[in-house]
């Protein structure tokens, strides 16, 4: 039986989960008085990320959003340019496109991975390159493609990179949710020209807030460091020939990141175990589909466990389950609302196939923290069982 105290304790979708080593590195920064956006913690955190992601160069930054802004800036995205991005994502993928005065061109998802549909991507590129007519003269093809590995699931990178290379368009991977995920055995984030990571409080590891740009191209990361530190020219005085930003990561926060990197493998195992736990308890429930690795080529960190609830077959729906969980003080969340349905991106060009709208209408993210306790799981499964079929045992 649940005690009243654990009934009242809120179960969140995804919470920070410390290793216990973080304070040691934070204190180290205090002892050395390196309370600055550079120092040993930043260097070490970058090095551990490079090793883990199997990539040559990493710049730790203030957020994942800042990393996307720099990535697009480094690719010389300018006002009036077009950048292809998935419609099914978090707004932080798209916002930086507009910071640069460029225009997002949204592409729908494939049903397998829920990520960018490669066929629709190619159709979109062809459409953008072939268009003509008044006012369209001088608009080149798309300047960049942003691919997202949503909820940890790798996108179909083989097909996407094949298309991107065919048309010579650089790819930025948004790996904010997919640290530790692999595609064909290789970490995601190593397929495109560059990739971004996020260490926001809800991600698989956190620095409380932070991000990184990663790349095998040294010039890209050198440029990112330059832009992130106000674009200061090499001179004894302060001289600037370009517009810069204040986007570096604090040495204090990088200390948290160092402590987190020591247990990243464990966190991935825990998230995947929770995903398997949901599959087990929902095994015999009709009308439930999980976001699932389509083949052995895909390895998801299963940052969040996400399901689709078929209204007819399941006898319930997404909102009913969400509200039932909420009544027990358990947080769950509808899947991302597609960007083409967002008021702020109304009227954006979008190539749609209905997948993202279906995902949004029927999909739910379930509590997936790596530190869920046995009693948390009992509470969650209690609500789920009651919701789907109070009569039947499963
Ligand atoms: C969290 C997230 C970001 C932004 O990262 P921040 O560090 O919060 O700025 C970008 N894209 C996706 C898909 C995310 O989930």
| 68 CA closest ligand 1 atom index | 10
Q: What is the pLDDT of residues 62-108, one digit of tens each?
A: 999 999 999 999 999 999 999 999 999 999 999 999 999 999 999 99
pLDDT value of residue 139: 59
Calculate how far, in angstroms, residue 176's C-alpha sits from the geometric centre of ligand 1: 5
Quote the CA–CA distance of 228 and 294 in Å, as a whole number. Answer: 38
Residue among 136, 184, 141, 186 nearest 164 (CA): 141
319 C-alpha to ligand 1 centroid (Å):
25
Residue nearest (by alpha carbon) to ligand 1 atom 2: 176
CATH 3.40.640.10 domain span(s) along the chain: 22-261
Residue nearest to atom 1 of ligand 1 (CA): 176
pLDDT of residue 132: 65
What tokens does 394 get?
A: 């499963």
pTM of the model: 0.95
pLDDT of residue 389: 72
Which part of the chain is CATH 3.90.1150.10? 264-388
CB-CB contact of 9 with 15 (8 Å): no
* Range 22-261: architecture per CATH: 3-Layer(aba) Sandwich (3.40)
* CA 286–ligand 1 middle distance (angstroms): 33
Tell me the pLDDT tens digit for each residue of 286-323: 999 999 999 999 999 999 999 999 999 988 999 999 99
Q: Which CATH architecture has domain 264-388?
A: Alpha-Beta Complex (3.90)
Contacts of 380 (CB under 8 A, 6+ apart): 11, 325, 330, 366, 367, 372
Check pocket membership of 89 for ligand 1, CB cut-off 6 A.
yes
198 Cβ below 6 A of ligand 1: yes
Which residues, in sequence order, are CB contacts of 242 under 8 Å at separation 6+?
Answer: 227, 231
Q: Kindly tell me the burial class for residue 374, based on how many C-beta atoms sit within 10 Å of its own C-beta (0-12, 13-18, 19 or more).
A: exposed
Are 351 and 324 spatial neighbours (Cβ–Cβ below 8 Å)? no
In this prediction, residue 372 carries a pLDDT of 97
Q: What's the 93 CA to ligand 1 centre distance in angstroms? A: 7
> Does 200 contact ligand 1 (Cβ within 6 A)?
yes
> Low-confidence residues of the chain, pLDDT below 50?
1
The reply to whether ligand 1 has any atom less than 6 angstroms from the CB of 62 is no
Q: How far away, in angstroms, is 64 Cα from ligand 1 center?
A: 5
The pLDDT, as a whole number, for residue 394 is 52
| Mean pLDDT for the chain overall | 95
Which strand ranges, in their side-by-side order, compose the sheet holding 363-366?
A: 288-290, 305-309, 363-366, 333-334
């Amino acid at each position: 039986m649940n005690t009243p105290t654990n009934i009242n304790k809120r179960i969140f979708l995804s919470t920070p989960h410390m290793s216990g080593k973080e304070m040691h590195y934070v204190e180290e920064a205090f002892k050395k008085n390196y309370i600055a956006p550079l120092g040993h913690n930043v260097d070490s955190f970058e090095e551990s990320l490079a090793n883990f992601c199997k990539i040559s160069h990493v710049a730790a930054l203030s957020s994942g959003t800042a990393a996307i802004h720099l990535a697009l800036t480094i690719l010389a995205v300018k006002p009036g340019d077009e950048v292809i991005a998935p419609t099914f994502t978090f707004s932080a993928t798209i916002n930086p496109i507009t910071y640069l005065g460029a225009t997002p061109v949204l592409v729908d998802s494939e049903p397998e991975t829920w990520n960018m549909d490669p066929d629709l991507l190619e159709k979109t590129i062809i459409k953008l390159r072939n268009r003509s007519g008044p006012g369209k003269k001088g608009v080149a093809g798309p300047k960049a493609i942003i691919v997202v590995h949503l909820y940890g699931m790798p996108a179909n990178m083989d097909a996407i990179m094949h298309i991107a290379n065919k048309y010579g368009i650089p790819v930025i991977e948004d790996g904010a949710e997919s640290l530790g995920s692999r595609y064909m055995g290789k970490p995601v984030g190593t397929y495109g020209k560059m990739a971004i990571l996020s260490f926001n409080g809800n991600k698989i590891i956190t620095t409380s807030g932070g991000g990184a740009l990663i790349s095998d191209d040294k010039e890209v990361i050198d440029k990112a460091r330059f832009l992130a530190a106000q674009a200061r020219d090499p001179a004894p005085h302060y001289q600037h020939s370009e517009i810069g930003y204040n986007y570096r990561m604090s040495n204090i926060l990088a200390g948290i990141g160092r402590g987190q990197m020591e247990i990243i493998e464990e966190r991935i195992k825990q998230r995947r175990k929770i995903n398997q736990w949901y599959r087990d308890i929902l095994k015999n429930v009709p009308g439930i589909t999980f976001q699932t690795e389509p083949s052995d080529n895909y390895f998801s960190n299963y940052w969040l466990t996400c399901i689709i609830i078929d209204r007819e077959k399941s006898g319930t729906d997404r909102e009913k389950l969400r509200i039932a969980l909420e009544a027990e003080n358990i947080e769950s969340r509808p899947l991302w609302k597609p960007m083409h349905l967002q008021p702020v991106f109304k009227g954006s060009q979008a190539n749609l196939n209905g997948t993202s709208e279906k995902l949004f209408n029927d999909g739910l993210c379930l509590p997936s923290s790596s530190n869920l306790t046995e009693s948390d799981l009992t509470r969650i499964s209690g609500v789920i069982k009651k919701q789907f079929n109070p009569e039947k045992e499963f």
